Structure 1
Amino acid sequence: MNYETYFQNNRERHLAELKEWLAIPSISALSEHKPDMIRAAEWLAEKLKAAGLEHVELHETEGHPIVTADYLHAPGKPTVLVYGHYDVQPVDPLNLWTTPPFEPDIRDGKLYARGATDDKGQLFLHIKAIEAIIKQEGSLPVNIKLCIEGEEEISSPSLPSFLEANKDKLATDAVLISDTSLLEPGKPAISTGLRGLCSLEVSVFTANTDLHSGTYGGGVPNALHAIVSLLASLHDEQGRVTVEGFYDGVPDISPLMKEEFAKLNFNEEQLRNSLGLETLYGEEGFSFVERTGARPTLELNGVWGGFQGEGTKTVIPKEAHAKITCRLVGDQDPADVLEKIKAHLHKHIQPGAKLTLKDGEKARAFNIDPSDRMLQLAADAYEEVYGTRALFTKDGGSIPIVETFSRVLQAPAVMMGFGLPDENLHAPNEHFNLENFDKGLLTIVSYLKKL
């Protein structure tokens, strides 16, 4: 079967359909778009039926619907569960869009619209690849299930309980996800790790009012001094986190993963120059890609307190605040890490200052061995279409639901992304390069056949 000819002959129809879906403003974070969320889910369900998939269902949740479907006519062959999401980010600031975010427009070989690359465009590839195989060959070479949610952009509150309640129905040999990117044009990548996350808000209080620095300076605790000293105690001069037990559960970087990192040929000097920095900085003994992909971090995201207006105000502030996030790897437990950080902060707070701490989000890291056969076949499929075998990477960001899928369904997660890092996901002028639209369809077909 010549799939290249098939997809070329159906390209205009496919893009017209995708534009229809992208025109629906399915913004999960804004309650005013609840009707649009339902409309986007119903549109998806109809297209799944039209593609030849069976048992298409819309499952109501406390939030937005989850859509499932399957095609189970390959006894003895592997089962693949495709995951994606039909919700999109808000579009602000609207004035920075060249064309309206929900009026899809093709310019210079790129499809511009909110959701074009994250994740409607990439998810759409799977629907059309499945449809193509059924239409061309009458059946699929593997068993397929789909589980598509509408809450990924708001941290998937409904999906974990749905997975637990339906893990027999969704049982699979692999979870296939296209919600990541190539390293650069023509250079595919498969992520074998996503860092976990935990966050904490820190508040320090001293006197019951701000005080005059002439009358009281040098004689009373200063909330800003206390928080600066406290936050400085969290790292040593080599960039390591000094919280006792912070690195419990952090694995060494395997020789295979070190090889994959080295293959990236990452140019640290180019990065340094592009950011206008005199030097990069981080945990001693690791490269930039190792620090950002395979090592945990503790970062200050905001620190504030005292007078910040124009001019001078000679005041000793009574309170100061900070926001902290940690990226986690390996078997680090986010709840345990937060408890250890809190113990460290209580231990190191200056005399005369009081501390209040508020937990934020918690998500475990996801990791998979790149030698897993499901990943190796995915790398082969990329090579067949792109002419370059995919490299195995670890991403510094967090997609908590990937770990949930892998853990609940006890199946490897295969992250085959077709976006590019510069496609403005979450920003104005989001777009999807149509070269990867075309190659993505062929790659997915190749992968399902190889499986």
Structure 2
Amino acid sequence: MQHTDPRAAAIDLAGGMVGSGRFRSDLADLVGYRSESQNPSQAIGLMRYLTEALMPRLQSLGFTCLMHANPVPGGGPLLTAERIEGAGLPTVLGYGHGDVSHGQDDDWRPGLAPFALTERDGRYWGRGVADNKGQHLINLLAMESVIATRGHLGFNAKLLFEMSEETGSRGLHAFCAANRDRLAADVLIASDGPRLQPETPTLFMGSRGAMNFDLVVDLRDGAHHSGNWGGLLPDPAILLAQAIASITDGRGQIRIPEWRPTSLTPAVRAALAGLPLDGDGPAIDPDWGEESLTPAERAFGWNSFAVLAMKSGVPEAPVNAIAGQARATCQLRFVVGTDTAALIPALRRHLDAQGLGAVRIDHDAANTHPATRLDPDHPWVRRIAGSVARTSGRAPHLLPNLAGSLPNDCFADILGLPTVWVPHSWRGCSQHAPNEHLPVALAEDGLRVMAGLYWDIGSGNLPA
């Protein structure tokens, strides 16, 4: 298609990469790298993804690349890249992660495999297509389309790729703290997480924090016959169940005062009003969670407690015996305004008040990730939202923060940047599970949205 409007030409060039097969071919190459950061035997795959899959692509776009060892032992390598076009131009920092969660090879549908891309039923299937290889590929191809159309970006671009996101972004905080000058920018614009609805672009400006901890009841070595010892020995599973049950009421409302946030302000409520959460995926239970809140307020403006796993005895082969130990891995997702330093002490006081002093709390502070949030009325948010709406013809959904967790505090707190995330996935993508996928139509829309956004930044005429 011939265009007199160069912006439209760049957008069509990016979106056309789906129909031409270019996007599929490039995505297949990235997915083929078995970059499981949770699998120590794949350490070489983490390095190869950066040096073989990303560096040549970035260098062909005029980026200068530099590899970095992780400052924390056991963390994966990092890659920085920059294309500096002028001292007076805005500088945009981008981010992505090339590591993926376990492939779970044996659990995918027939005909599908985690590290071989398949296109079927209007979707791309493979590990990393949504989290996060497909998302940062969309952004890179959008930049390529702008450069091909205009001859330059029109802004300075810096990129940071890590290979430890699926293991808690090990070393990323230390790396950002040591490289503030190298990563200095005006704004972070990155892509991870899901859209609220697959057909409508979403912007989110932060993420809920997460604190993982174990509740442990360790009373004795070994198990003892339930007939001989029942009624005489405390049951660790019962004590553990009582501890868990005491944290919330029967509909999951948190009972510990220090765990209940105070930051659900009228402005945040106004931003969340009317946001749709229905759609594909499990049906939302209106009778679960904080009763006085809307579903959007529960997911994006409040704290939630979950039990991720629990065990006592041998569930696979129960015997008539009272176990000696019981353990549950738990998680609190929390929003800005939650005093993280008070969370574990408050839980300890709460359990003691319930007579549950036998329940131990195992918590590693490194497993607590801070919450972040940017005002939806921030100038960069308004500008980016305006560009996205101009390209897509739809006002994007604006979330003060993602319901999940991302290492956004590295950029917001350590680097001091306004942060705006433009996700190119959807909530039903099965990330971290078998059959991870990305809708073809969503990928095409993401390519068009990002090409329009990068064009507008480089033109200096982002909508006010």
Which TM-score band (shorter chain)?
Answer: 0.7 to 0.9
Q: Distance in 1 between matches of 2:305 and 2:420?
A: 28
> Deviation of residue 398 (structure 1)?
1.3
2:456 aligns with 450
Q: CA RMSD in A?
A: 2.8
AA in 1 matched with 2:391: V
> Deviation of residue 69 (structure 1)?
1.1
Q: How does 1:423-434 map to 2 (within 5 A)?
A: 423-434=429-440
> Deviation of residue 218 (structure 1)?
4.9
Q: Is the 8 A contact 2:197 2:277 kept in 1?
A: no
Q: Is the 8 A contact 1:178 1:415 kept in 2?
A: yes
User: Secondary structure of 1:134's match?
Assistant: helix
Q: Is the 8 A contact 1:100 1:113 kept in 2?
A: yes
Q: How does 1:198-277 map to 2 (within 5 A)?
A: 198-206=211-219, 218=231, 221-236=234-249, 239-247=252-260, 250-267=261-278, 274=283
Q: Distance in 1 between matches of 2:238 and 2:246?
A: 12
AA in 2 matched with 1:178: S
AA in 2 matched with 1:16: S
1:297 aligns with 304
> Deviation of residue 8 (structure 1)?
5.8
Q: Is the 8 A contact 2:212 2:332 kept in 1?
A: yes
AA in 2 matched with 1:365: A
Corresponding residue to 1:358 among 351, 356, 362: 362
Q: How does 1:354-393 map to 2 (within 5 A)?
A: 354-360=358-364, 361-393=367-399
User: Secondary structure of 1:199's match?
Assistant: strand
How many residues are matched? 440
- Change in 2 beyond 3 A, CA 1:223/1:371: same
> Deviation of residue 281 (structure 1)?
1.6
Q: Which moved more, 1:319-328 or 1:122-131?
A: 319-328
Q: Distance in 2 between matches of 1:207 and 1:299?
A: 27
What per-residue deviation string (whole Å, max 9, x for no partner) do you get for residues 126-147 of structure 1?
Answer: 2122222223222222211001
Q: Distance in 1 between matches of 2:312 and 2:194?
A: 39
- Change in 2 beyond 3 A, CA 1:253/1:23: same
1:286 aligns with 293
- Change in 2 beyond 3 A, CA 1:95/1:382: same
- Change in 2 beyond 3 A, CA 1:374/1:131: same
1:25 matched to 2:31: no
Q: Is the 8 A contact 2:201 2:388 kept in 1?
A: yes
User: Secondary structure of 2:363's match?
Assistant: strand
- Change in 2 beyond 3 A, CA 1:45/1:298: same
> Deviation of residue 9 (structure 1)?
6.1
> Deviation of residue 95 (structure 1)?
4.5
Q: Is the 8 A contact 2:262 2:338 kept in 1?
A: no
Q: Is the 8 A contact 1:193 1:367 kept in 2?
A: yes
Q: Which runs of 5+ in 2 are unaligned?
A: 1-5, 458-464
Q: Is the 8 A contact 2:209 2:333 kept in 1?
A: yes
Q: Distance in 2 between matches of 1:159 and 1:311?
A: 43
AA in 1 matched with 2:85: H
Q: Distance in 2 between matches of 1:339 and 1:216?
A: 34
> Deviation of residue 20 (structure 1)?
1.8
Q: Is the 8 A contact 1:299 1:325 kept in 2?
A: yes
Corresponding residue to 1:52 among 62, 79, 83: 62
- Change in 2 beyond 3 A, CA 1:137/1:284: same
Taking only the aligned residue pairs, the percentage that are identical comes to 25
Q: Is the 8 A contact 1:334 1:363 kept in 2?
A: no
Q: Distance in 2 between matches of 1:139 and 1:271?
A: 41
Corresponding residue to 1:76 among 88, 99, 104: 88
1:174 aligns with 187
Q: Which runs of 5+ in 1 are unaligned?
A: none
Q: Is the 8 A contact 2:239 2:359 kept in 1?
A: no
